[in-house]
Every structure is written in C-alpha cells, then in structure tokens.
C-alpha cells in the first residue's frame, strides 16, 4: 500500500507524523511525507520518501511574523496562511496520489486532503495530535483562551463551540468554496463538520491523556503518542552531555521550534533560574531564537546568562544548546519548560 502523509506546521506538528510513517513502513507499506523543505533531512534519515511543499524561505517568512504567537491574532494568521493555499496543496496531492493504491494521512490543518477524498474517492485518515482539535461540550478541557469554559453547562459550551465554528468558517469558507467550485464540489458551511475524514479519525494520544467524548466523531479511535524511532538513535553532543552530568541537573527551557520572538520568555526564564540557583540549558531548533541583544536588559538578568546567547565566555548558570532528541534530554533535566501552544514534540511525550 502507498501511504501519502500530508502534515502542516512546525516540528511539533511534523515529527509525530514521521513516527507514524516509520511505523507504517515497518509494516511493509511505502510511505511518502509531503511537508515543508525544512524537514527533508529528518524525514529522509527516517528512511521515508520526502515531497517538498514549501521552501525553507517560505517557512521562515511565516515564523518571523510577530503576530504568529499573539494570543488573539495568532490563530487568524495560521488560518489565513493555509486558507490561501487550497489550490497549491490540492495540486501537490493530486500529483502524488496513485489511483486505487494510495491512502492519505493528514494532520488537523491538512484539510486539502479532504478535498481529494471527496473528489477522487481517495481513502483518508485524519489525525489529531491534541484534544483541542476536537472540541467537546461534555468535557471542554483546559483551553488557554477559554479557561472558564470547563465550568459551563454542556448547552452553553455547545453554543460556544458553534460560535467558534462560525468564526472559523467565516474566515475560511469563502476561499475554500471558491476553490471547490473550480473542481465541481458543492460549498460547505461548517469547517468543523466538514474537516474530518468520514472514514477514520485518529486521536494520536491515549485515553488517559484525554478520554474519548460522546460528541467526538463516531469513527474516532485513540492511540498512544507517536514516538520517533530515528530519534532514539540520535546522540547528544559531548559538550551537552558533560553539562547535563556536571553537578545539579539543569532546568531545560525551550521556546518551541517555530517561536522566533521569545525574548521575554528567555529574560524571565533565566532570571527565575538565577533566583533558584539552578543551572539551565536552553534547547532551540534555530540559533536565531537566541540572538537577543544584551543591551537594554537588566544587569541581573545579563549576569544570569544572557551573554551565553552571543557565544561569549560562559561562566554562567545558563547555557545555550541546539535542539536535540527530547527522549535523550529527558534523562537529565528535572524540569522542562516550554513556551509553545501546549504541543509536545515527537518523543517528548514520555515526560
């Protein structure tokens, strides 16, 4: 069987799908992953086929947008970005689907694959990496933007979910339906009711993490967290291993692989660590995440280790290290602090 995985997002969105691809390939299937060029090396090291959907420069342009991580503007930025890409993503997928042989596996935001399922009859599995992608009136969980929702009665949460769906649909449906018309598909009115595959929905997290709800899709199944096999064989640098094993275990800070505007996070993290007297390591996917000017920061914070950011001599609490496999890092730090949207990157779910 040919499996074509289409995943949209940063490392925390893509790595679990590499893990899924590894598992499927281990069962004898041919697996290709369609995603941004940034992840080519990781995918090919896992022995999977890679298909580019977006250059590194395009990816970088997205993550450099300061509104991407804004608590109110961020979701709109993401939805507009992938909403503009319906035709291109559809074309990429059509070019690589093999009639009567391909099964599509797609992430929450990879909704262009749903169009192929409708138009061509290609089998489709929708995979959600976090329960927030499946809003529930019976157990809304702890939503960062709506922390009070879990205290509301079910009828009120249903009304709230309907309002959220209307807002997202108003943003996405005009462009979606304009493209659907070009491929002779009828318009849709609700993104939430349309986005999931009618064949299979996979909740890629165990029931103890988020119990299945009555108002989730009836065809949804829960699994364990996907874990990268390739990451288990990656080795941390000798320098980082020495740092992890020297004295008290450090606190590890990571801003998330796509967080390019984390100055305040690093300021406060390093200052807090200094007060605790703990050593700390910052784990990043891109050194530019730590390219923060020392000027203008308080002397106290500077002394706590921000000079390490600029690669000067580092006799401080803070050390800066490149991103490494979390499964290896988790053996050392007693605490792991994230500045992300609540995602866990592939392998780190064991924490």
pLDDT in tens, 118-170: 999 999 999 999 998 998 998 887 776 777 888 889 899 899 999 989 988 99
Structure tokens at 167: 């807002």
Beta strands in the chain (DSSP E): 2-6, 30-35, 49-52, 102-106, 123-128, 200-203, 220-222, 251-254, 280-284, 318-322, 335-338
Q: Is the pLDDT confidence value at 350 over 70?
A: no
301-310: pLDDT as tens digits: 333 333 333 3
Mean pLDDT of 191-206: 95
Q: Select the CATH number that applies to the domain covering 2-222 from these four: 3.40.50.2000, 3.40.50.150, 3.20.20.10, 3.40.50.2300.
A: 3.40.50.2000
Q: How many CB atoms lie within 10 A of CB 262?
A: 21
* Percent of residues, the chain, with pLDDT higher than 90: 40
Residues in contact with 161: Cβ distance below 8 Å, sequence separation at least 6, in sequence order: 135, 137, 192
16 confidence band (pLDDT: 50, 70, 90): very high
Ranges in the chain annotated CATH 3.40.50.2000: 2-222, 234-342
| Residue 65 pLDDT | 76
Nearest to 231, CA basis, from 106, 321, 323 = 323
pTM here is: 0.78
Residue identified by tokens 């700390």 is 280
Q: Is the pLDDT confidence value at 14 over 80?
A: yes
CA 342, CA 155: separation in Å to the nearest integer? 26
Q: How many CB atoms lie within 10 A of CB 145?
A: 11
- Dihedral of CA 207/210/214/219: which sign? negative
Q: What is the DSSP track for 176-212?
A: HHHHHHHTT----S-HHHHSS-SSEEEE-S-TTTS--
Q: Is the pLDDT confidence value at 316 over 50?
A: no
Residues in contact with 20: Cβ distance below 8 Å, sequence separation at least 6, in sequence order: 5, 105, 127, 204, 226
| Residue 243 pLDDT | 67
58-67: pLDDT as tens digits: 777 777 777 7
- Pick from 70-74, 277-281, 304-308: least confident: 304-308
Mean pLDDT of 312-335: 43
CA 79, CA 69: separation in Å to the nearest integer? 13
The CATH architecture of the domain made up of 234-342 is 3-Layer(aba) Sandwich (3.40)
């Amino acid at each position: 069987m040919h499996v074509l995985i289409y995943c949209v997002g940063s490392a925390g969105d893509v790595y679990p799908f590499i893990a899924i691809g590894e598992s499927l390939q281990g069962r004898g299937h041919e697996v290709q992953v369609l995603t941004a060029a940034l992840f080519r090396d990781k995918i090919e090291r896992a022995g999977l086929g890679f298909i580019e959907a977006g250059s590194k420069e395009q990816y970088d342009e997205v993550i450099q947008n300061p509104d991407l991580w804004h608590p109110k503007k961020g979701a709109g930025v993401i939805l507009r970005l992938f909403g503009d890409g319906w035709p291109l993503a559809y074309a990429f997928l059509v070019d690589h689907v093999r009639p009567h042989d391909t099964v599509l596996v797609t992430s929450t935001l990879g909704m262009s694959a749903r169009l192929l399922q409708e138009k061509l009859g290609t089998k489709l599995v929708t995979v959600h990496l976090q329960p927030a992608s499946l809003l529930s009136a019976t157990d809304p969980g702890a939503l960062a933007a709506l922390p009070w929702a879990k205290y509301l009665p079910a009828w009120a949460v249903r009304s709230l979910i309907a309002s959220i769906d209307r807002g997202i649909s108003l943003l996405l449906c005009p462009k979606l339906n304009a493209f659907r018309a070009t491929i002779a598909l009828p318009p849709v009115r609700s993104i939430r009711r349309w986005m999931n595959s009618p064949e299979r929905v996979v909740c890629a997290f165990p029931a103890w993490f988020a119990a299945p709800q009555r108002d989730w899709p009836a065809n949804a199944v829960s699994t364990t967290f996907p874990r990268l096999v390739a990451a288990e064989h990656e080795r941390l640098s000798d320098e980082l291993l020495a740092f992890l094993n020297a004295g008290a275990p450090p606190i590890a800070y990571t801003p998330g692989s796509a967080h390019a505007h984390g100055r305040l996070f690093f300021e406060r993290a390093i200052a807090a660590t200094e007060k605790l007297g703990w050593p700390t390591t910052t784990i990043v996917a891109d050194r530019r995440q730590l390219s923060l000017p020392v000027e203008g920061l308080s002397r106290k914070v500077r002394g706590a280790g921000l000079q390490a950011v600029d690669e000067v001599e580092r006799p401080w609490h803070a050390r800066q290290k490149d991103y490494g496999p979390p499964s290896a890092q988790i053996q050392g730090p007693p605490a792991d602090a994230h500045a992300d949207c609540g995602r866990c990157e592939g392998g780190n779910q064991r924490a």
